[in-house]
Structure 1
Amino acid sequence: MEKKLSVIIPVYNAEQFIEKSIRSALDQPEVTEVIVVNDGSTDGTQAILTWMQNENPKVKVFQHPNYENKGRSATRNLGLQNATANYIAFLDADDYYLPNRFTNDFKVFQTNDQIDGVYNAVGLRFYNTVSHELRNEMKRQFTLTKKIEAKNLFCALLKGTYGYFHISGLTLKREVFEVIGAFNTKLVVSEDSDIFLRLALKCTLVASNINDSVAMRGIHSNNVFYRRDLYDENDLYFYESMYEWSSKNKINLNTVEKFLERIWILKYRKKEKKHKYLIYWFRLNLKAPKFLFSYLSVKYFPLTRFFKKKLYMVKSKINYLLLNSLNNK
């Protein structure tokens, strides 16, 4: 496969970062085009993009109809629609690539034509002062600490046992999106995690450089990960969407069960009335009808869950009474 690489950069109000981001992509010899999608910016971003597009023909700028702000998923999808290369990489507008970003990636691709994508370590560039604890926590999050076999990558990412990877460290063959679909436009956050899990389930992803950073993520006060409220609101829908996607993509039931476990943990935290859980269950499975005829339908049916919970409480009480009885003898 000819090495043509499109870098897709979604941008919203990032006038202080975007030039550095674009130039870091242009500096990579493998990059044949930089697709920048302006997601309805209201600052000086568009003026910078226009100037850079006029300066370098590799820079191609797009916007949503009527200059709307549609969010990161729709913006990356528009970039994918306009990308022409057979390899795809992403770069957030406040991130930047380091020299030789793709050198090792293409060496890895050459080792096996069955490889669909590679992932790399992404470092951190702090633009404001943060605590030592936050620095250490974030350093843990954006690389896997060991190479994981492709068949085990899904479980590793879901549990976070060996860390995570970041979208600015991915390089993918374009055709993977024909297999896994586009970014989920209904997700406000975690749209990248959604893509990561789909990739891990349907494609062959391997490590490229997980020890030395190939890109830097910008950390500043406007980062969305500070919005814990958005993640709390979005977590349940994230797993619901993975459940629905799994129904359409022939994912095995053992894997699907992992999504159901998390769905019910999050749902039960809401402490709703029992009939609402029944209504919720049927609505959930209308979107994933394939699973209505599996053992999961019985095992995770709300009444079954309530019965098991009550049975567990009764057993615990009996064991407690027996233990006390033995101790009093």
Structure 2
Amino acid sequence: MKLGFKVSVIIPVYNCERFIEKAVRSALQQPEVAEIVVVNDGSTDNSLKLLKTLQIEDERVKIHHHKNKKNKGRATSRNLGIKKASSNYIAFLDADDFYLENRFKTDAKVFLTQNEADGVYNAVGFHYYRNVSENDANKTNLCTLSQGISPNEIFEAFMLGKGHLHLNGLTLKKEAIRLSGLFNSKLTVGEDTDFIYKLALKCKLFAGVVTQAAALRGVHENNVFSNRKVYSKYHGKTYESLIVWSAKNNVSLTRIDKQLSYLWFFYSGEKNKFFNQLLSWVKIFMSSFRLFFSNLNLKYFPIVNLIKK
């Protein structure tokens, strides 16, 4: 283990009494875990009671709440967890997911041998709590990227559809988050994708274990990610947020061009294609002088594209 390699695991919890004990215990069994920063996001079931029992068993379990114990959502809860974390390394775990044995073993080695590494990513698999069709099962393979991808090319790999990552498989230096920023609390869903893409744009992420799962994502009837309508609604907003952030944080116009190209392609399959593109153009280009006075302005202006056709 890397000397001083201790991890704070951040778990946002909202009404997850069915799964939370398994999640916490899976983190407690990892020798590299210094603390589990649990943010109880206004749960109304027995989640808090279970957490207090776990805290009595192991003092590494730290329980936090939002002001007045309100429900603030996953992004704000993770942000609070980041602020409360005391370790130099941070990892995430959703309350209905769990780590597998040796979750951080390879991460420690990577950080030891790669001084420039801001983070390490690992493959995440799926655990089914409900019956799924063969078609759905085939769609939920490993969340991973190829080990051969350079840290400088991870964002481009995302844009080309070469794979994707999940928060459960990420381990980050806490200082890396200062480069990419916290989670976007304005996004109800897709905040994890937004966060990971920002990391890929600003930080150097190295491969850990990418051919087999280091953690498993629980698939059950209440999963938000199973609700395609919700994700479709916020998918465009996620990319709009990312593009605006990229413009403000001096991401190259070439990379912003790739983001815009993907967003316009996504909207091309929507019913209100022209309206969505026009509204998105206003949100993006009116928020950034840099983009407004770039060649991307006319390239993605919907009326110009309409005339060309």
- Shorter chain as denominator, the TM-score bin is over 0.9
Indicate how the Cα distance of structure 1 residues 220 and 301 shifts in structure 2: closer, same or farther if over 3 A, else same.
Answer: same
Matches for 1:31-70 after TM superposition, within 5 Å = 31-70=33-72
| Aligned equivalents of 2:278, 2:144: Cα separation in 1 | 40
In 1, the alpha carbon distance for the partners of 2:279 and 2:136 equals 41
Residue in structure 2 matched with residue 27 of structure 1 by the alignment: 29
Per the alignment, do residues 127 and 246 of structure 1 end up closer, same or farther by CA in structure 2, a change over 3 Å counting? same
Structure 2 stretches lacking a partner, 5+ long: none
Label 1:282 to 1:217 Cα distance change in 2 as closer, same or farther (>3 A): closer
* Aligned position for 1:138: 140
CA RMSD of aligned residues (A): 1.8
CA contact under 8 A between 1:7 and 1:35: conserved in structure 2? yes
Matched, 1:127 2:129: yes
In structure 2, the residue matched to 1:212 is: 212
Separation (CA, whole Å) in 2 of partners of 1:247 and 1:167: 24
Residues 11 and 36 in structure 2, CA contact (< 8 A), matched pair in contact too:
yes
Question: What code does the residue aligned with 2:169 have?
Answer: G
Q: Which residue of 2 aligns with 1:170?
A: 170
Match of 1:198 in 2: 198
Q: TM-score, normalised by structure 2?
A: 0.93
Query: Given the superposition, is the C-alpha separation of residues 271 and 212 from structure 1 closer, same or farther in structure 2, using an over 3 Å criterion?
Result: closer
| CA deviation after TM superposition for structure 1 residue 267, in Å | 4.6
The alpha-carbon deviation at position 167 of structure 1 amounts to 0.9
The separation in 2 between residues aligned to 1:200 and 1:8, in whole angstroms, is: 20
Work out the CA distance in 1 between the residues paired with 2:103 and 2:279. Answer: 50
Q: Identity of counterpart residues, as a percentage? A: 46
Structure 2 residue 153 is matched with structure 1 residue 152: yes
Partner residue in 2 for 1:254: 254
- 1:212 deviates by 2.2
2:130, 2:242 → 1: CA distance? 35
Per-residue CA deviation, residues 157-215 of structure 1 (Å, 9 max, x unaligned), is: 22322x22211111110011100000011111111111111111111001110122211
SS in structure 1 at match of 2:184? coil
Cα contact 2:264–2:277 (8 A) shared by 1? no
Give the superposition deviation at 1:290.
1.4
TM-score by length of 1: 0.88
> Which of the two has greater helix per residue?
1
Question: Which shifted more, 33-42 or 144-153?
Answer: 144-153
Partner of 1:287: 287
Query: Contact 1:158–1:197 at 8 Å: present in 2 too?
Result: no
Find the aligned partners of 1:22 and 1:102 in 2 and give their Cα distance.
15
The answer as to whether partners of 1:13 and 1:43 remain within 8 angstroms in 2 is: yes
Distance change >3 Å, CA 184–CA 133, structure 1 → 2 = same
Which has the larger Rg?
1
Query: What are the Cα deviations for residues 122-174 of structure 1, in whole angstroms up to 9, with x where unaligned?
Result: 1221111111121121014x12244311111111122322x222111111100
> When the two structures are aligned, how many residues end up with a matched partner?
306
CA distance in 2, matches of 1:279, 1:99: 47
Range moving further from structure 2, 261-270 or 207-216: 261-270
- The 5-angstrom pairing of residues 220-299 of structure 1 reads 220-267=220-267, 269-271=270-272, 281-299=281-299
Give the distance between the partners of 1:95 and 1:281, measured in 2 at CA. Answer: 37
The residue type equivalent to 1:271 in the other structure is N
CA contact (8 A) 2:243 2:260 kept: yes
